[in-house]
């Protein structure tokens, strides 16, 4: 969708750009966004590193990342006429989390915190549209288009270029006063707004996120191999998860927060200001065996309007099977795994067989120790 000249162009030009920018930021905060910055529609500087990432094959089977490189580098090719990009973020923590290294219940099913409530993509786009409408009421008509992880955009880099934070060694954006537990969105606009300036980086010599990664997916600072990443494996990937990575996945059945939980800057993490991120269906405190017994109808009902829908029922059960294989030995776990084999596809059954073997191995170790 191209931007077209607005009939209200003269009216907009009469407004002081800096005052309009300040007013827009105030409106964004009023709508529940945690921060708002104005970015220049230019991400050319990201291309060398991104091309290296692709050449190494670290994007796994996410082949869509290989497409539209020109549009990623130049947002004005994605939406012609873009003059400024309003970048926003939303904090999604409901409560300050305990660090991952604190002992946890191994029979719990761990779901990434952003995914325990409503799908943030819908929340983000809806509020960006509301922000656009408020601006139109203020300045008259202009062209805008909202995005939330829904187009070939270097959204993290655009936000970083305008001072929303810096890219940490785990490749996520970190804000000095808010940590990294937030999601991003953008409103492409035809408005001439002053751009914000980038912030400085503050990771220093810290390598906590690299050291803690259960599958060593952060292969070097600022470079993540998705083929090893638990978030990719449990959400995007639909195949058989390599056996050598299953123990590292532990009881994480959708995503992984470990590299964020260990980050010292998340001692400053802020909680959400809207209720959309509140956990639903007990997903912040649910046992592996309880969620294992969800049939497909229950899965669809309990994940309506949730990011978890993205993984699909069979892949979700595949992930839970791995979690059950890694859980402490239990006769009940083995029985539930065995009786479920007829309900699932071949890929899930491969992981069920592995989980049963893991449980039996733990049983043998338990008997020896007795």
Active site residue ranges: 149
DSSP string across 244-257 = HHHHHHTTEEE---
- 173 annotated ligand-binding residue: yes
Q: Is 303 annotated as a binding residue?
A: no
Q: Is 290 within any annotated ligand binding site? A: no
Q: Binding site annotation covers 257?
A: yes
Q: Where does the chain show beta strands of DSSP type E? A: 35-39, 84-91, 110-111, 144-147, 166-167, 173-174, 182-189, 218-220, 223-224, 252-254
Rounded to whole angstroms, how far apart are CA atoms 277 and 27? Answer: 21
337 annotated as a binding-site residue:
no
User: Is 229 labelled a binding residue?
Assistant: yes
The answer to whether 88 touches 182, Cβ cutoff 8 Å, is no
Helix (H/G/I), strand (E/B), else coil: 145: strand
Q: Which residue is it, tokens 């109808």?
A: 297
CB 106 within 8 A of CB 288: no
Burial-class residue 352 by CB neighbours within 10 Å (0-12, 13-18, 19+): buried
36 is in an annotated binding site: no
- Give the number of residues written for the chain: 370
CA-nearest of 83, 70, 73 to 5 is 83
Contact 320, 288 (CB under 8 A): yes
Residue 263 assigned ligand-binding role: yes
Long-range CB pairs of 239-243, under 8 A, 24+ apart, other chains included: 239/347, 240/347, 240/350, 240/351, 241/318, 241/322, 241/351, 243/354
Sign of CA dihedral 52, 53, 55, 56: positive
Cβ 74 vs Cβ 42: under 8 Å:
yes
Task: Please give the annotated binding residues for tRNA, written as ranges.
Answer: 238
Task: Please give the annotated binding residues, written as ranges.
Answer: 72, 149, 167, 173, 184, 203, 206, 209, 213, 229, 238, 256-257, 259, 263
């Amino acid at each position: 969708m191209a931007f077209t000249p607005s009939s209200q162009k003269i009216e907009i030009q009469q407004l002081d750009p800096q005052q309009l920018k300040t007013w827009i930021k105030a409106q964004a905060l009023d709508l529940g966004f945690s921060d708002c910055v104005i970015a220049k529609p230019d991400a050319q500087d990201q291309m060398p590193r991104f091309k290296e990432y692709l050449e190494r094959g670290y994007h796994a089977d996410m082949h869509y990342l290989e497409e539209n490189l020109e549009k990623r580098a130049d947002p004005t090719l994605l939406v012609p006429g873009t003059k400024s990009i309003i970048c926003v973020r939303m904090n999604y923590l409901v409560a300050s989390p305990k660090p991952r290294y604190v002992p946890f219940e191994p029979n719990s099913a761990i779901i990434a915190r952003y995914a325990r409530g409503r799908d943030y993509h819908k929340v983000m786009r809806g509020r960006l549209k509301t922000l656009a409408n408020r601006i139109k009421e203020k300045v008259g008509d202009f062209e805008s288009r909202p995005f939330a992880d829904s187009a070939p955009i270097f959204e993290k880099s655009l936000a970083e270029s305008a001072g929303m934070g810096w890219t940490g060694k785990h490749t996520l954006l970190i804000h000095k006063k808010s940590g990294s537990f937030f999601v991003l969105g953008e409103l492409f606009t035809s408005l001439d707004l002053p751009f914000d300036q980038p912030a400085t980086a503050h990771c220093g010599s810290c390598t906590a996120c690299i050291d803690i990664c259960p599958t060593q997916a952060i292969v070097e600072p600022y470079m993540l191999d998705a083929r090893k990443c638990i978030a990719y494996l449990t959400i995007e990937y639909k195949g058989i998860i390599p056996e050598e990575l299953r123990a590292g996945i532990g009881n994480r059945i959708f995503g992984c927060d470990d590299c964020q939980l260990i980050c010292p800057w998340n001692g400053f993490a802020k909680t959400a200001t809207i209720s959309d991120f509140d956990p639903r269906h007990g997903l912040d405190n649910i046992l592996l065996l309880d969620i294992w017994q969800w049939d497909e109808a229950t899965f669809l009902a309990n994940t309506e309007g949730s990011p978890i829908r993205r993984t699909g029922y069979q892949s979700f059960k595949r992930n839970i099977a791995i979690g059950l294989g890694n859980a402490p030995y239990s006769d009940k776990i083995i029985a539930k795994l065995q009786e479920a084999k007829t309900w699932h596809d071949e890929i899930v059954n491969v992981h069920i067989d592995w989980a049963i073997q893991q449980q039996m191995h733990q049983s043998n170790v338990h008997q020896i120790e007795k």
